[in-house]
Amino acid sequence: MTEPSLNPAQTETLAALRAAARPMTAYEILDVLREAGRKAAPPTAYRALARLIELGLVHRLESLNAYVACCAEHEAAAPAFSICDDCGTVAEFTDADALDGVAAVARRAGFEPVRPVIELHGRCAGCRGEA
């Protein structure tokens, strides 16, 4: 997949998220931009993140108010995330059947999902000693 043209702040933000071992907040990203020599204010980081989300290159983890680089192909279904509450590891996955099931339950309750977000918190195999 060819990436669209990104401005320097977007490129540096995406690189920082791809290199990170855990989700990053907008202010952590701002620190990375400043370390790279940018005179960056919070709107710079938020604009870069908004554009990267729009392009499908980054996801916002709602429960953590943090961001991760996209690491899965999921054109047909929205991604879901497993988040380890011990080590902070985030795994991205897609399962159209699971998303369809959640949407069906919501519709039966009279709710029409527009932007599904599935985040599962728990403990990863490594933290459980099963890795």
Q: What is the CATH number of the domain that holds 114?
A: 3.30.1490.190
Asked if residue 65 belongs to a domain, the reply is: yes
- pLDDT band at 98, cuts 50/70/90? confident
Q: Which helix or strand (DSSP H or E) is residue 119 part of?
A: strand 118-122
On the 0-12 / 13-18 / 19+ scale of CB atoms within 10 A, 65 is exposed
- Global pTM value: 0.85
Residue 20 inside a domain? The answer is yes
Give pLDDT, residue 76: 60
DSSP 71-104: -S--SSS--EEEEETTT--EEEE--HHHHHHHHH
Where in the sequence is the domain holding 85, given as residue range(s)?
80-122
Residues 20 and 56 in one domain: yes
For residues 65-93, average pLDDT = 87
Q: What is the mean pLDDT of residues 96-120?
A: 89
User: What is the identity of the amino acid at 48?
Assistant: A
pLDDT given at position 31: 93
- What pLDDT does residue 74 have? 65
pLDDT single digits (tens) 30-70: 999 899 888 889 999 999 999 999 998 999 999 999 999 99
Tens digits of per-residue pLDDT, 5-26?
Answer: 999 999 999 999 999 989 999 9
Average pLDDT of the residues of the chain: 90
Task: Indicate which CATH number applies to the domain containing 21.
Answer: 1.10.10.10
Retrieve residue 57's tokens. Answer: 């290159």
Based on the structure, what is the number of domains in the chain? 2
